[in-house]
Amino acid sequence: MKASSVPGVSGAEDKMRIILLGPPGAGKGTQAKVLAEKLKLTHISTGDILRQNVSKGTQLGKQAIEFMSKGLLVPDELVTKMLTQRFEQPDVRQGFILDGFPRNIRQAQTLDEILKQRNMSIDMVVYLDASEPVIIQRLTGRLVCSACGAIFHTKNMPPKKDMICDNCGGSLYQRADDQVKTIKNRLAVYQKESAGAIQYYEKQKKLHRLDADEEAETVINNIIHLTVQYNDSPKV
Ligand code: AP5
């Protein structure tokens, strides 16, 4: 059993391996960044890695953009190859938060295989449940820093200076897939594909549902509470 520790202070939660699941705009990226900092975990976002590949014009980026711009999933084989390479990096050993992967049952099964080969497993899956009107409001107002990736919102989390990142002074931009038509496609794909992954973790008794319509601070406190409960519980 891991010893418990004070919420928000890095310690016994180190090396936790957490998945954040949830629809587009539920707040996975926002919460993953805070959680990674508080618990000193590595944040792995498949969406961020794909967007970096697109902006660098890599072969993967050229293949992925066609799907991303329509709000479709990038084919499993491309994303799992990319994730396998990411798992070769040593920072994964300090524990991680996966954001945006898995998106379907095939990816969930592949993830377990990748982890098994490295003597690792997932500790906890947090499902951030958000309603459609909230999702649309969040995504149509989202701003992202082009330099450090920090996430803002025109109304919910506005930057101090217009279109300038509070953290690094980089310029903010709107993601190309945050147009209403593309958001609706992403939501439809999410509804169709994600059910299998959710059931997969429900069967493993690893899934925890949280109301992600709540304000960001409430959501992060609830996630931290889950990690503390997990670390206090007996492990078999
Ligand atoms: P990805 O980047 O993963 O996008 P997504 O899953 O659609 O999720 P988002 O990043 O849009 O939302 P989020 O939940 O992180 O919300 P955020 O925290 O930013 O993927 C993009 C594309 O890449 C996919 O469509 C697909 O093509 C491809 N892809 C990625 N992974 C793949 C995979 N595994 N397989 C195949 N293809 C893949 O918050 C949103 C806004 O709300 C922000 O402005 C934020 O400030 C605000 N906000 C957040 N929380 C709150 C709150 N509690 N209260 C008020 N405002 C809030």
| Mean pLDDT lowest among 7-21, 28-42, 210-224 | 7-21
d(CA 172, CA 152): 8
d(CA 198, CA 207): 8
Under 8 Å between Cβ of 175 and 144: yes
Ligand 1 near 120 CB (within 6 A): no
Neighbours of 167 (CB within 10 A): 12
**Active-site residue, from 17, 51, 103, 138:** 103
Q: Report the phi/psi class of residue 196: left, alpha or beta, with left for phi > 0 and alpha for psi in -120 to 50.
A: alpha
Residue 235, pLDDT score: 76
Atom 56, ligand 1: residue with shortest CA distance: 156
Ligand 1 near 50 CB (within 6 A): yes
Which residue's structure tokens are 């049952």? 105
Ligand 1 near 47 CB (within 6 A): yes
Residue 7, pLDDT score: 42
Q: What is the pLDDT of residues 188-227, one digit of tens each?
A: 999 999 999 999 999 999 999 999 999 999 999 999 999 9
Under 8 Å between Cβ of 18 and 123: yes
Exposure string (b/e) for 200-219, b if CB count within 10 Å is 16 or more? bbeeeebbbebebbbeeeeb
Pairing of strands 124-129, 17-21: parallel
Compute, in angstroms, the gap from residue 63 CA to the centroid of ligand 1: 20
d(CA 109, CA 116): 11
Compute, in angstroms, the gap from residue 235 CA to the centroid of ligand 1: 32
Under 8 Å between Cβ of 150 and 140: no
**Full-model pTM:** 0.94
Q: Is 93 a catalytic residue?
A: no
Whole-number Cα distances in Å, 133 to 1, 101, 119, 159, 194: 41, 24, 41, 23, 19
Q: Is the pLDDT of residue 91 over 80?
A: yes
